[in-house]
Amino acid sequence: MRLLIAEDEPELAGQLESAMTQAGYAVDLAADGEDAWHLGETEPYDAVVLDLGLPVVDGIRVLERWRAAGRDMPVLILTARDRWSDKVKGIDAGADDYLAKPFHMAELQARLRALIRRASGHHSAELVCGPVRLDTRAARVSLAGEEVRLTGHEFRVLAYLMHHQGRVISRTELTEHIYDQDFDRDSNTIEVFVGRLRKKLGPELIQTVRGLGYRLTEPRSEA
Ligand code: CA
């Protein structure tokens, strides 16, 4: 899962970036509204944290432009104070949730998890596929009750596939959702990550759909 964080206060932006990276997300930062607007228009984010008080172009305008252009990713807005009128404007402009500063990181993370799982049609914080469970709260994975250790990239590949179970996901789509903007992307490495996940979680969980990509489906026989 990949996030855009549009926040112009460097300290808060840095805290958000490190907290969300630790929680298993790929993170891009934008420090002004122009940059945020451009990234949100061109990159496929799974969710966006958008400060309303951004320089150059304010957050409401950025959000209005995204929605007008048909960009429908979940957006959580940050308002500077607990001003009810900002929340109303933000929600009317297409925000899915809001938080007033200052906020607790744990609350922001919980709200983002909820937005991401709702956007992909899930209702529980724990995603299940046969014997494999992914706890989005703790970024933990288990196989038949035993914890499985994954690297950051393996976790992101699995998390994206688990959120989109049953759908065929191309390598390009996976690549776009597991790396941040500055990473030197190579879609061949996806194959390596999938191979390692099969080794750790069983060969049947992730199917290769020839020429199209990968699909995660519940294994027929449960071990
Ligand atoms: Ca600001």
Look up the domain containing 105 and give its range. Answer: 2-119
Sequence letter at residue 3? L
Distance from Cα 6 to the centre of ligand 1, integer Å: 9
CA 52 to mean position of chain CA atoms: 20
> Within this chain, do residues 73 and 104 fall inside the same structural domain, yes or no?
yes
Distance from Cα 94 to the centre of ligand 1, integer Å: 19
pLDDT at 169 over 60: yes
> Within this chain, do residues 105 and 130 fall inside the same structural domain, yes or no?
no
> Within this chain, do residues 114 and 26 fall inside the same structural domain, yes or no?
yes
Tens of pLDDT, residues 58-114: 999 999 999 999 999 999 999 986 678 899 999 999 999 999 999 999 999 999 999
Q: SS3 sequence, the chain?
A: CEEEEECCCHHHHHHHHHHHHHCCCEEEEECCHHHHHHHHHHCCCCEEEEECCCCCCCHHHHHHHHHHCCCCCCEEEEECCCCHHHHHHHHHCCCCEEEECCCCHHHHHHHHHHHHHHHCCCCCCEEEECCEEEECCCCEEEECCEEECCCHHHHHHHHHHHHCCCCCECHHHHHHHHCCCCCCCCCHHHHHHHHHHHHHHCCCCEEEECCCEEEECCCCCCC
Distance from Cα 52 to the centre of ligand 1, integer Å: 7
Distance from Cα 203 to the centre of ligand 1, integer Å: 47
- Confidence grade of residue 223 (pLDDT, cut at 50, 70, 90): very low
Distance from Cα 76 to the centre of ligand 1, integer Å: 14
Tens of pLDDT, residues 16-52: 999 999 999 999 999 999 999 999 999 999 999 999 9
CB 142 within 8 A of CB 218: no
Distance from Cα 207 to the centre of ligand 1, integer Å: 44
Give me the CATH number covering residue 32.
3.40.50.2300
* pLDDT mean across residues, the chain: 93
Distance from Cα 95 to the centre of ligand 1, integer Å: 17
> Within this chain, do residues 67 and 165 fall inside the same structural domain, yes or no?
no
Distance from Cα 34 to the centre of ligand 1, integer Å: 14
In a domain, 15, yes or no: yes
In a domain, 221, yes or no: no
Residue finishing a domain among 119, 136, 171: 119
In a domain, 111, yes or no: yes
CA R_g for the chain:
18
> Within this chain, do residues 53 and 11 fall inside the same structural domain, yes or no?
yes
Distance from Cα 93 to the centre of ligand 1, integer Å: 18
- Confidence grade of residue 221 (pLDDT, cut at 50, 70, 90): low
- Confidence grade of residue 127 (pLDDT, cut at 50, 70, 90): very high
In a domain, 222, yes or no: no
In a domain, 68, yes or no: yes
Q: Is the peptide bond before 102 cis (omega within 30 degrees of 0)?
A: yes
In a domain, 24, yes or no: yes
- Tally of domains in the chain: 2
> Within this chain, do residues 115 and 130 fall inside the same structural domain, yes or no?
no
Distance from Cα 24 to the centre of ligand 1, integer Å: 25
Residue finishing a domain among 100, 119, 138: 119
Residue finishing a domain among 67, 95, 119: 119
Give me the CATH number covering residue 192.
1.10.10.10
Distance from Cα 168 to the centre of ligand 1, integer Å: 39
